[in-house]
Amino acid sequence: MSKPLLSLSQPRSQPKPPTQQLLYRRLAEHYLDAIQALTLRPGDRMPSVRDLMRQHQVSLSTALQTLRHLEQEGWLEARPRSGYFVRQARRLAQPEELNLSSAPALMSAQYAGIHERVSEIIAQGRSNKVTLDLSSASCAPQLYAVEALKNAAIRTLRQRPEVLTGMMSHSGNPAFRQVLAKRSLAIGIKIAPEQVIVTHGCIEAINLALRAVAQAGDTIAVESPTYYGLLQVLESLGMRALEIPTSQRTGISLEALELALQTYDNIKAVVAVPNLQNPLGSIMPDAHKVRLVALCEQHGMALIEDDSYGDLVPEGTSSTALKAWDRSGNVIYCASLNKVLAPGMRLGWMVGGRWQARIEMLKFAHTRANEEWAQITAADFMASTAYDRHLRRLREALRIQRARSADAIAMHFPAGTRLNLPDGGALLWVELPQQLSSRKVFEAALREGIRLAPGLIFSNSRRFDHFLRLCCGQPFSPQIEQGIKRLGEIVAELLPESQPKPQSKTQQRKLP
């Protein structure tokens, strides 16, 4: 960081008094917090020197130093005869789109090795002391409606104490299924409550869907990159994952999928995450969703939709489900409340389409019914407008956390880093410079108490070994800022000596 400006009222040879030296920094931090929280947005005009003097009871020198310090750090720009304005935040370039003419259109069908690799990474992460966890895809506990859920749980026990000792409904609590069916209307799904099958999170729903439509040895088309948990499930079922290139703007490549259908004759299903895909954070345009549903219908191939993040799509952006365009029952819809309501409840659900009866029997044979206390509690809260207010607060908190985390990455990571900044959710997909191994970064960071998700676990191939998935589900704090800074330093230290190292903080912030 650059040295502080000298007081205009003192000779250059005399140091400023400590109290005055700290005052302009405190004032600068006050406005920097407002800029990073987007209270002051790019293009907003800052208070004038006179306004700062009057509002904060400071001297002309302190007001000038505050503005010039923020300008030096790259947060403000001075416009002749107009004053100081908040600068457009620096953004790293997004990863390039896949070039299907120069890169393989699809990966060879593989199923061996991912479980062992993922298990090893997870075991390493658990065996080390972690002070900063950037690997999880969940939000901080305080971002959820803890008090409201606690009160709803207490009401449930007071009104129905037998819920802990009585037999459970096989497919789920009727009130919970009713709420889910009603809320599904907002994303274009028209179903009866009886069609809702409650599951242990979305991962069980996906597992049941795969078992319903395919068997060991069959090929399942998946997005690439994709959530490593899906690759683990496929391997455990003895199924083959066929990786289809996926764009951060449009989702799964329909051209590559069509080519795959011409090449392989045993593709039984496609698994897709249309809204805030993990790890890219992409939102599939509605026109793309329509074409994907039609393509799968045309080829008689099941379409398994994972909509775990749909409620985190910002207002004003379509979060319509693929299931909304299903006219034949060919789409199996799977969803979860883990990311949007309460990870501790492990509440997921699904609609089986033309495989409904088979999935219900598989669920009964596999895990029986879910306990009802959590379902009744969730139904109580979700039936009220308080749930909608919770979602709005959660989306806004994540918007701020994404922006601040992205700015920190842009500031502290070395040149050549690329970042995909999604419109919603809590995930950032970061491409490392010079094909640097994410495994090396993971292990070096873990030794210093920082845990992240290396890109190599999001594919059966090594194609994404130079990526990191970072979660910004925790409220941004000095600890996170320092953790990202240290992570950027680790990346720089691991680069070959011939590669450029990071610029100073001041230089980076001043880049356009």
DSSP letter string, 364-410:
HHHT-PPPHHHHHHHHHHHTSHHHHHHHHHHHHHHHHHHHHHHHHHH
Q: Is residue 5 part of a domain?
A: no
Binning pLDDT at 50, 70 and 90, where does residue 33 land?
confident
Do residues 232 and 118 lie in contact, with contact meaning Cβ atoms separated by under 8 Å? yes
Report the range of poorest mean pLDDT among 47-61, 218-232, 390-404: 47-61
Do residues 87 and 41 lie in contact, with contact meaning Cβ atoms separated by under 8 Å? no
Residues in Cβ contact with 425 at an 8 Å cutoff, skipping those fewer than 6 apart:
276, 281, 309, 312, 398, 402
pLDDT of residue 511: 31
User: Looking at the structure, do residues 447 and 483 belong to the same domain, yes or no?
Assistant: yes
User: Looking at the structure, do residues 355 and 470 belong to the same domain, yes or no?
Assistant: no
pLDDT of residue 304: 98
Average pLDDT, the chain: 88
Residues belonging to the chain: 512
pLDDT of residue 104: 46
- Our count of domains for the chain comes to 3
| 410: exposed, middle or buried (Cβ count in 10 Å: 0-12, 13-18, 19+) | buried
State the residue range of the domain holding 260: 145-387
Q: Is 314 left (phi over 0), alpha (psi -120 to 50) or beta?
A: beta
Bridge partners, residue 245, by sequence: 224
Residue holding tokens 């090594």? 462
**How many CB atoms sit inside 10 A of residue 156's CB?**
21
User: Looking at the structure, do residues 360 and 404 belong to the same domain, yes or no?
Assistant: no
Q: Please give the average per-residue pLDDT across 308-323, as a whole number.
A: 96
| Nearest residue to 351 via CA among 488, 184, 219, 494 | 184
Binning pLDDT at 50, 70 and 90, where does residue 402 land?
very high
pLDDT tens profile 332-364: 999 999 999 999 999 999 999 999 999 999 999
Q: How far apart are CA 44 and CA 35, in angstroms?
A: 10
Q: With 60 as the cut, is the pLDDT of residue 284 above it?
A: yes
Q: Is residue 26 part of a domain?
A: yes
**What CATH number is attached to the domain comprising 498?**
3.90.1150.10
Q: With 70 as the cut, is the pLDDT of residue 185 above it?
A: yes
Binning pLDDT at 50, 70 and 90, where does residue 314 land?
very high
Q: How far apart are CA 134 and CA 156, in angstroms?
A: 35
The residue among 71, 86, 101 that closes a domain is 86
**What CATH number is attached to the domain comprising 285?**
3.40.640.10
Q: How far apart are CA 476 and CA 395, in angstroms?
A: 14
> How large a percentage of the chain has pLDDT more than 70?
88
Q: How far apart are CA 170 and CA 159, in angstroms?
A: 21
**What CATH number is attached to the domain comprising 41?**
1.10.10.10
Q: How far apart are CA 287 and CA 17, in angstroms?
A: 63
| Nearest residue to 464 via CA among 227, 242, 272 | 227
User: Looking at the structure, do residues 274 and 170 belong to the same domain, yes or no?
Assistant: yes
Q: What is the pTM of this model?
A: 0.81
User: Looking at the structure, do residues 149 and 274 belong to the same domain, yes or no?
Assistant: yes
User: Looking at the structure, do residues 308 and 430 belong to the same domain, yes or no?
Assistant: no
Residue 72 φ/ψ, nearest 5 degrees: -60, -35
**DSSP string covering 341-356, please?**
T-GGG-EEEEE-GGGH
Angle, helices 372-382 vs 146-159, to 10°: value is: 120
Report the range of poorest mean pLDDT among 80-94, 229-243, 355-369, 437-451: 80-94
Q: Is residue 99 part of a domain?
A: no
User: Looking at the structure, do residues 249 and 327 belong to the same domain, yes or no?
Assistant: yes
The residue among 387, 407, 435 that closes a domain is 387
Q: Which two tokens stand for residue 311?
A: 């409620």
pLDDT of residue 102: 39
Q: Is residue 314 part of a domain?
A: yes
Cis previous bond, 279, omega within 30: yes
- List Cα–Cα distances, 342 to 339, 390, 402, 406, in angstroms: 7, 12, 20, 26
Q: How far apart are CA 223 and CA 271, in angstroms?
A: 7
pLDDT tens profile 469-512: 999 999 999 999 999 999 999 999 999 874 555 544 433 433 32
User: Looking at the structure, do residues 232 and 381 belong to the same domain, yes or no?
Assistant: yes
Q: Which helix (H) or strand (E) holds 505?
A: helix 505-509
User: Looking at the structure, do residues 206 and 341 belong to the same domain, yes or no?
Assistant: yes
User: Looking at the structure, do residues 189 and 316 belong to the same domain, yes or no?
Assistant: yes
| Nearest residue to 275 via CA among 193, 139, 395 | 395
Sheet holding 418-420, edge to edge: 418-420, 427-431, 467-471, 453-454
Q: How far apart are CA 458 and CA 230, in angstroms?
A: 9
Q: How far apart are CA 319 and CA 275, in angstroms?
A: 6
Q: How far apart are CA 176 and CA 321, in angstroms?
A: 20
- List Cα–Cα distances, 306 to 203, 226, 277, 331, 419, in angstroms: 9, 11, 9, 11, 24
Q: Which two tokens stand for residue 427?
A: 């995930």
Q: With 90 as the cut, is the pLDDT of residue 34 above it?
A: no
- List Cα–Cα distances, 460 to 78, 115, 206, 437, in angstroms: 50, 9, 19, 15
Binning pLDDT at 50, 70 and 90, where does residue 8 land?
very low
Residue holding tokens 């929280």? 37
| Nearest residue to 214 via CA among 293, 258, 267 | 267
Do residues 170 and 398 lie in contact, with contact meaning Cβ atoms separated by under 8 Å? no
Q: Please give the average per-residue pLDDT across 252-276, as a whole number.
A: 95
pLDDT of residue 260: 94
Q: Is residue 190 part of a domain?
A: yes
pLDDT of residue 93: 65
Q: Is residue 358 part of a domain?
A: yes
Q: Is residue 253 part of a domain?
A: yes
pLDDT tens profile 50-84: 899 999 999 888 988 899 888 877 789 888 778 89
Q: Is residue 101 part of a domain?
A: no
Q: Please give the average per-residue pLDDT across 256-279, as a whole number.
A: 95
Report the range of poorest mean pLDDT among 41-50, 326-335, 408-417: 41-50
Q: With 60 as the cut, is the pLDDT of residue 108 above it?
A: no
Report the range of poorest mean pLDDT among 23-32, 292-301, 398-407: 23-32
The residue among 332, 364, 387 that closes a domain is 387
User: Looking at the structure, do residues 134 and 181 belong to the same domain, yes or no?
Assistant: no
Residue 125 DSSP symbol: H
Q: Please give the average per-residue pLDDT across 235-253, as a whole number.
A: 94
User: Looking at the structure, do residues 133 and 78 belong to the same domain, yes or no?
Assistant: no
Do residues 245 and 253 lie in contact, with contact meaning Cβ atoms separated by under 8 Å? yes
pLDDT of residue 349: 98
Report the range of poorest mean pLDDT among 86-100, 398-412, 471-485: 86-100
